[in-house]
Amino acid sequence: MNRRALLASAVALAGSVALPRLSAAATPLRVGYIPIIPMTQLYVLSREGWAKEAGLELTLTSFQSGPAMIQALASGTLDVAYVGIGPVMIARSKGVAVKVVAANVIDQVALIGRGPFAAVTASASSPAEGFAAFRAAQGRPAKIASLPAGSVPDTVLRYWTQEVAKIPASDIQIVGMGDEQVQQALLSGAVDGASILEPTLTLVQTRLPDARIVAKAGSLFPQQPGAILAVTEAAIKRDPAAVATLVKLHIRATAFANANPDRTAVIVTEAIGKGLIEPAVMRAALTSGATNFVDDPRRIVDSTKRMQAFQQSLGQITDPVDIDALFDHSFYEAAKAG
């Protein structure tokens, strides 16, 4: 029996015996994640009890950045990563044996502005004209925050400024920082704008009347790949049935998140809101144009290739990886077939 047939059998078995497996020892999976909205599928499948019902024992570990999680993957302390595609490409280029088995979101990054920067770009005929007008008026380039170099938001921002909007380097200063720091910098006025994800986009607009979206999600890097579900090759080899079960639950969670924004907002708020974000604000963030939940890994292959080519031009990836080999579609295809 070939591997595809074995996976189909594994998925079918996972679906047919999910509840009876509770009587046996649950299969452990060590899962790393970054506490942001694009990891919503993980919050749903774990907090709704689906993983436990399906016989999976998930040990969740939160990380503040992709590079830190990749180090954990490389050291063998994680089996699964809910992380951005950018860090996974860099990890693979450095020899970390990991496979992308499902997608989470696409077009998740937008450029938000505040204060004079938001005002001048709103009246400009083009983004480049807006950036130039801001520099002329303020005597300095616009200071735009994003996550650290190599992250998806940073890469997408640089792609947009160089390849789409054609913003001269003299008109923009990109500042890398953590997700919480980006939000704080926007609210305090320490930066003029940010290339960032939800819920920061919605939260800032609810608190700052002059904040506005300068470039919508999807316009910075069309079909932009974002967060993904990755599994180590060691975990795939050790227990393909557990991986098959996780992918099946991930697909179910994607459909749930898209169909049930109210319940999903409660789940995500409990997971990452830390009492700082109201469910109503989270719901608005989950239904904005910057939150587009998907699960089919095949959908982001071509855009991932474009992203890697651009990261190479930035010098962030010196040893390009075989993108087709980075992805393993078999678990997804078997889940959809069964």
* Burial (0-12, 13-18, 19+ Cβ within 10 Å), 258: middle
Other C-beta atoms within 10 Å of 172: how many?
A: 20
Asked if pLDDT for residue 294 goes beyond 90, the answer is yes
pLDDT tens per residue across span 45-96: 999 999 999 999 999 999 988 888 888 999 999 999 999 998 898 889 889 9
Contact 154, 176 (CB under 8 A): yes
φ, ψ of residue 140 to 5 degrees: the values are: -155, 160
Long-range Cβ contacts of 273-277 (<8 Å, 24+ apart): 277/199, 277/203
Range of the domain at 87: 3-106+225-337
Domain match, 235 and 324 both:
yes
Instruction: Single out the residue in 215, 235, 257 at which a domain terminates.
Output: 215
Domain match, 38 and 93 both:
yes
pLDDT tens per residue across span 175-185: 999 888 999 99
Overall average pLDDT of the 106-124 stretch: 97
CATH code, 207: 3.40.190.10
**Residue 174, in any domain of the structure:** yes
| pLDDT > 70 fraction of the chain, expressed in percent and rounded | 93
pLDDT of residue 83: 95
**Residue 93, in any domain of the structure:** yes
Instruction: Single out the residue in 188, 215, 242 at which a domain terminates.
Output: 215
pLDDT tens per residue across span 30-43: 999 999 999 999 99
Domain match, 230 and 333 both:
yes
Contact 32, 61 (CB under 8 A): yes
**Residue 275, in any domain of the structure:** yes
DSSP code of residue 17: S
